[in-house]
Amino acid sequence: MTSPTDLKYTESHEWIRKDDDDVLVIGITAHAAESLSDLVFLDLPEAGDSVTAGEGFGEIESVKAVSDLKSPVDGEVVAVNDALPDNLGAINSDPYGEGWMIKVRATSSIENLMDSEAYDKSVADA
Amino acid sequence: MTSTDSHVGQDDHNVAVARTAFARADYPGAADAEHQGPVTIFDISVPGRRAVRPPPLQVPAVDANSVLPAGSVRKERADLPEVGELDAMRHYTRLSTLNFSIANAFYPLGSCTMKYNPLINERVAGIEGQANLHPMQPDDECQGMLELCWRTQQVLIEISGLDDVSIHPAAGAHGELTALMCMRAALDDRGDQHKMVILIPDSAHGTNPASCTMAGFSTRELKSNKSGRVDMDDLATKIGDGKDIAGLMITNPSTLGLFEPNIKVICEKIHEAGGFVYMDGANMNAIVGKARPGDFGVDVMHYNLHKTFSQPHGGGGPGAGPIAVRETLAPYLPVPKIERRDAKDGENGNDDGHWFDTIWSSPKSIGRTRGFMTNAGVMVRSYTYIRANGSDGLKAVAENAVINANYLRARLRDVFRVWIDEPCMHEFVATAKGLPNDIKATDIAKRLIDYGIHPPTIYFPLIVPEALMIEPTETESKETLDHFVEVMKALRAEIDSDPQTVKTAPHTRSIGRPDEVAAVKNPRVTA
């Protein structure tokens, strides 16, 4: 599986896209969505909430397991994909598009995160 | 079966194994239309039919409305099933055949220790004086039960290598919560209110972080290294300056079935930070009688009596999750406690002249954590099991559990990939990742049902993709383990030759694959 090359990635399978200078769009990768399989529940923060790098910003539940969604950066949530909880299929069908989860105004860098090549390698090695 | 066997020979063999599995009827009701009939007893109800016709009243009838408070008499008839005794008998007997238990066939459900529960446990639990006790019976009328509970506590203290035990917790997760509440009380007592963080490895049971949250702690995840053990660098990073560290919850052996070789150092580092080490005792079956958690640095642990000490489980209980603690935590254990003393004049003590009291005065106790002191029937069965085995027998339990798991691991490693293929404890984790034809762990689990075998635990631990967690337990014979290997080989061959059959399994049971998404999203909790 090849992940989009214009995104950054975490070890915990979140993707990050730079929307404009400060705002980052965050979702989970196709690999994560496929591993979770059928999704049944999603808990996202609200706009205005703060997030911390490495700590949970929400929870996602599938028929297999409940997983934390981990924030790749420190910052403030500026937008949430409100359509998602009622349309969890979008995370499976279009993880990098309609499946986006939150937008964050970051106060920390994303330079240390993985590029697509490194992420794909880490998934293949697992 | 050797690698030189022809392909045709392999197929014939697989068919033979499959036929044997079906023909054995390990699971009554297999592929039997008769067992797929009406679902509920209401479906066979016929108005006016009765199992019992009581004789006519011999006293004057009384109008219920004249003697009961207003509003307490129902206005409509209760919609109860109306069936003959034989129909009721057949209905429930049929339902019982749809059930699966260790008494049916092999049940390698990892982390759950589905060992056989010896019948002597039931015999002893059924003794009238034990079975018919009331939980509110005064102490002087239940000295035997108090002594049995006290003796069970002593054994659990000895096996843990710790100083005291509480038999209050009704299950493992209840034990976790009770222990965390004791830890909180101890931290508060010494002025460490700011210690709020519990470290938890990423391979932990989901109950660990849930219990922390319920007890008011926050959690911080520890990474596993490539060999499935705690990453020591990550541990140092996550402890940091240690100021906010309240403790660590660790499962040893881990959920990967691996002993943690650094456990002593890990405990020392937590102690240096001023925290307590909690051990999830779910996997005690691998080390009972062989290694004592208190000796390797653990401060508090729970037992799952329904796993290690043989209670029937899997249907929702009752279980018991006693906790053992070091003396630093003992003052905070729940009340009431059982204490032994010399019998006074006039007291009919036991053969040793002892008397057993339930004690409520314990000023630092976290209090009462359940309605009554313990699940007494569970204590009776576990005490029976412990005494029937003796200390040598319990060591043999651990040894055989570990040997059986390693035997299966060695025989299955060429059939399915073992995630960390090194000597394991009582269980090991294989993976369905990378199998051809898009076969997933769930497909293997469902297909095993057709072969009359209970599926292993799947999709846990979370750090292994497509996990198949296999725990044979010590009570299975080599023949049963060999049969399981043959079935797994047959199933592996099917994945290549007939993946559609595997993907759509089970084919031989009263239902196929329920819609798990709908079941979670729109649960129907009433009939």
From B461, which residue of chain A is nearest by alpha-carbon distance? A65
The reply to whether B240 touches chain A by the CB within 8 Å rule is no
CB-based contacts of B59, cutoff 8 Å, min separation 6: none
Say whether A64 and B206 touch across the interface (CB within 8 A): no
Q: How far is CA B21 from the centre of its chain?
A: 27
Q: What is the DSSP letter of B314?
A: S
Question: Which residues does chain B have within 8 Å of residue A61's beta carbon, measured at their own beta carbons?
Answer: 520
Q: How far is CA B65 from the centre of its chain?
A: 48
> Helix, strand, or coil here: A70?
strand
User: Nearest CA to B30 among B448, B453, B452, B446?
Assistant: B452
User: Nearest CA to A44 among A78, A82, A88, A8?
Assistant: A82
Q: What is the pLDDT of residue B31?
A: 43
User: Nearest CA to A75 among A25, A5, A122, A33?
Assistant: A25
From B523, which residue of chain A is nearest by alpha-carbon distance? A40
Residue B483 in tokens: 């049969």
Q: How many residues does chain B have?
A: 527
Q: Which residue, chain included where needed, has tokens 């003396």?
A: B327
Q: What is the pLDDT of residue B38?
A: 55
Is the Cβ–Cβ distance between B248 and B270 less than 8 Å? Answer: yes
- How do B218-222 and B197-201 pair as beta strands? parallel
The reply to whether B520 touches chain A by the CB within 8 Å rule is yes
Q: Which helix (H) or strand (E) holds B480?
A: helix B478-497
Q: What is the pLDDT of residue A46?
A: 96
The reply to whether A64 touches chain B by the CB within 8 Å rule is yes
Q: DSSP strand E in B146-275: where? A: 164-166, 197-201, 218-222, 245-251
- How do A14-18 and A8-9 pair as beta strands? antiparallel
- CA dist B497 and B501 (Å) reads 9
Task: Give the domains, in start order, of chain B with CATH numbers.
Answer: 143-386 (3.40.640.10)
User: Nearest CA to B194 among B243, B248, B249?
Assistant: B243
* Residue in A40, A65, A126 closest to B459 by CB: A65
In percent, how much of chain A has pLDDT > 70? 98
Question: Which residues does chain A have within 8 Å of residue B206's beta carbon, measured at their own beta carbons?
Answer: 66
* Residue in B459, B465, B520 closest to A40 by CB: B520
From B466, which residue of chain A is nearest by alpha-carbon distance? A35
Give the pLDDT band of residue A126 (cuts 50, 70, 90): low
B-interface mutation test, from A1, A39, A40, most B Cβ less than 10 A away: A40
The reply to whether A38 touches chain B by the CB within 8 Å rule is yes
Residue B354 in tokens: 């002892």
Question: Which residues does chain B have within 8 Å of residue A40's beta carbon, measured at their own beta carbons?
Answer: 517, 520-521
Q: What is the pLDDT of residue B14?
A: 46
Question: Which residues does chain B have within 8 Å of residue A59's beta carbon, measured at their own beta carbons?
Answer: none
User: What dihedral do alpha carbons A124, B3, B6, B8 form, nearest 10°?
Assistant: -60
- CA dist B100 and B98 (Å) reads 7
Is the Cβ–Cβ distance between B258 and B425 less than 8 Å? Answer: yes
User: Nearest CA to B137 among B346, B379, B372, B322?
Assistant: B372
Taking the domains of chain A in order of start, what are their residue ranges?
A: 8-109
Per-residue pLDDT of chain B (527 residues; tens, 9 = 90+): 333 333 334 444 444 444 444 433 443 444 444 445 557 899 899 999 999 999 999 999 999 999 999 999 999 988 899 999 999 999 999 888 888 889 899 999 999 999 999 999 999 999 998 899 999 999 999 999 999 999 999 999 999 999 999 999 999 999 999 999 999 999 999 999 999 999 999 999 999 999 999 999 999 999 999 999 999 999 999 999 999 999 999 999 999 999 999 999 999 999 999 999 999 999 999 999 999 999 999 999 999 999 999 998 876 668 999 999 999 999 999 999 999 999 999 998 999 999 999 999 999 999 999 999 999 999 999 999 999 999 999 999 999 999 999 999 999 999 999 999 999 999 999 999 999 999 999 999 999 999 999 999 999 998 899 999 999 999 999 999 999 999 999 999 999 999 999 999 999 888 889 888 888 878 877 65
Q: What is the pLDDT of residue B318?
A: 85
Q: What is the DSSP letter of B174?
A: H
User: Nearest CA to B326 among B296, B282, B294?
Assistant: B294
- CA dist B109 and B469 (Å) reads 7
Q: Mean pLDDT throughout A9-35? A: 91
The reply to whether A40 touches chain B by the CB within 8 Å rule is yes
A105 vs chain B: nearest CA distance in angstroms?
24
| Radius of gyration for the alpha carbons in chain B, expressed in angstroms and rounded | 27
Residues B468, B473, B474: CA angle, nearest 5 degrees: 155
- CA dist B25 and B17 (Å) reads 13
The reply to whether B479 touches chain A by the CB within 8 Å rule is no
**Model confidence at A65: pLDDT above 90:** no
Q: Which helix (H) or strand (E) holds A80?
A: strand A75-80
A15 vs chain B: nearest CA distance in angstroms?
19
A38 vs chain B: nearest CA distance in angstroms?
7
With 0-12 / 13-18 / 19 or more C-beta atoms within 10 angstroms meaning exposed / middle / buried, residue A46 is exposed
Contacts of residues B39-44 at CB distance under 8 Å and 24 or more positions apart, as own/partner, are B40/B527, B41/B81, B41/B83, B41/B88, B41/B91, B42/B79, B42/B81, B42/B527, B44/B81, B44/B83, B44/B87, B44/B91
Q: Give the other-Cβ count within 10 Å of B375's Cβ.
A: 25
Query: B518 in the Ramachandran plot: left (φ > 0), alpha (ψ -120 to 50) or beta?
Result: alpha
Q: Does domain A8-109 have CATH number 2.40.50.100?
A: yes
Q: What is the DSSP letter of B255?
A: T
User: What dihedral do alpha carbons B124, B127, B133, B138 form, nearest 10°?
Assistant: -90
Hey, CA dihedral for B182, A68, B267, B307, is it positive or negative? positive
Question: Which residues does chain A have within 8 Å of residue B462's beta carbon, measured at their own beta carbons?
Answer: 65, 67
- CA dist B439 and B299 (Å) reads 43
> Helix, strand, or coil here: B302?
strand
Is the Cβ–Cβ distance between B412 and B492 less than 8 Å? Answer: no
Strand ordering across the sheet containing B164-166? B164-166, B323-325, B300-303, B276-281, B245-251, B197-201, B218-222
The reply to whether B462 touches chain A by the CB within 8 Å rule is yes
Say whether A67 and B462 touch across the interface (CB within 8 A): yes
Residue B464 in tokens: 């292994």
CA distances from B375 to A108, B319, B381, B386 (A): 53, 7, 10, 17
Residue B431 in tokens: 């993976």
From A11, which residue of chain B is nearest by alpha-carbon distance? B223
Question: Which residues does chain B have within 8 Å of residue A66's beta carbon, measured at their own beta carbons?
Answer: 206
Say whether A40 and B206 touch across the interface (CB within 8 A): no
Say whether B459 and A67 touch across the interface (CB within 8 A): no
